[in-house]
Amino acid sequence: MTRRIGLLGGSFNPAHRAHRAMSLAAADALGLDEVWWLVSPGNPLKPKAGMAPYAARIGSAREMARRSVIKVSDIERRLGTVYTVDTLGALVRRYPRDRFIWLMGEDTVAQFHQWKSWRRLAATVPIAVLSRPGYESQARTARVASWLRRFVRPGSQARDWTRWSAPAIVFLRLPPDRTSATQLRAADPFWHERFARNTDAGSGVIPSADHRRNLG
């Protein structure tokens, strides 16, 4: 059976309620069977300082994803990929029967031109940009905005995304939530200590048995 899978990459430092809310709202708007949270070993554009250990970030993501269609994955750590274009290439090859859509918050559009091979990335799978309060104008004026605009599909057709050929991009307006990991770290700099004993970052985080087999 073909699964319709949304991929939300992130630092999850820590995971928070907006990640969950936006994933569930996107799943509804796009008719997704699953949303995979790809916990990044290290965003190449973010400083390493202040980044909690991987196991803690996975732990917070698992807690936030509980009892939902969201699956937390450490596949980037297993593959050794930090660039999204490489991760997507690997996933599309490993799961030829499934269909993927890349999910990203509106704030990430501003830096998209600095991502590795971003044109190739956009040609690999469709993209859904999810609204984030306070970042609307940044997304509109981003360096890549005029390039992306040529491939924009109407939100009213969002459920048809599996019929689109990439590049294809849809902007989804979701219920606003201002939560950010930066704000949570400021309120509780030692949040990761709660997950300090979570050393089994690899167990229970793989989206499916099939996935585990493919990773050998």
Ligand X SMILES: O=C(O)c1ccc[n+]([C@@H]2O[C@H](COP(=O)([O-])O)[C@@H](O)[C@H]2O)c1
The residues of the shown chain that bind ligand ATP, judged by CB under 6 A, are: 8, 10-13, 18-19, 22, 104-105, 107-108, 130, 132, 177, 179-182
What whole-number distance in Å separates Cα of residue 119 and Cα of residue 199?
37
Q: At what angle do helices 17-30 and 54-65 cross, to 10 degrees?
A: 60
Decide whether 98 or 106 has the Cβ nearer to ligand X: 106
What whole-number distance in Å separates Cα of residue 139 and Cα of residue 173?
13
Q: Is 73 exposed, middle or buried (0-12, 13-18, 19+ CB in 10 A)?
A: buried
Residues 26-85 that bind ligand X (CB under 6 A): 38, 40, 43-46, 83-85
**Of 60, 108, 124, 131, which one interacts with ligand X (CB under 6 A)?**
108
What whole-number distance in Å separates Cα of residue 29 and Cα of residue 21?
12
Decide whether 2 or 141 has the Cβ nearer to ligand ATP: 141
Using DSSP's 3-state secondary structure scheme, residue 166 falls into coil
Decide whether 14 or 98 has the Cβ nearer to ligand X: 14
Tell whether residue 143 is a contact of ligand X (CB under 6 A). no
Decide whether 136 or 210 has the Cβ nearer to ligand ATP: 136
What whole-number distance in Å separates Cα of residue 42 and Cα of residue 79?
13
Using DSSP's 3-state secondary structure scheme, residue 216 falls into coil
Q: What share of the chain is helix, strand, coil (3-state, %, to 5)?
A: 45, 15, 40
CB of 185 to ligand X, least distance (A): 13
CB of 103 to ligand ATP, least distance (A): 7
CB of 44 to ligand X, least distance (A): 5
**Of 17, 116, 119, 140, which one interacts with ligand X (CB under 6 A)?**
116
Tell whether residue 23 is a contact of ligand X (CB under 6 A). no
Tell whether residue 11 is a contact of ligand X (CB under 6 A). yes
DSSP 8-class letter at 125: S
Structural tokens at position 144: 């890549």
177 binds, among ligand X, ligand ATP, none (CB under 5 to 8 A by kind): ligand ATP
Decide whether 39 or 170 has the Cβ nearer to ligand X: 39
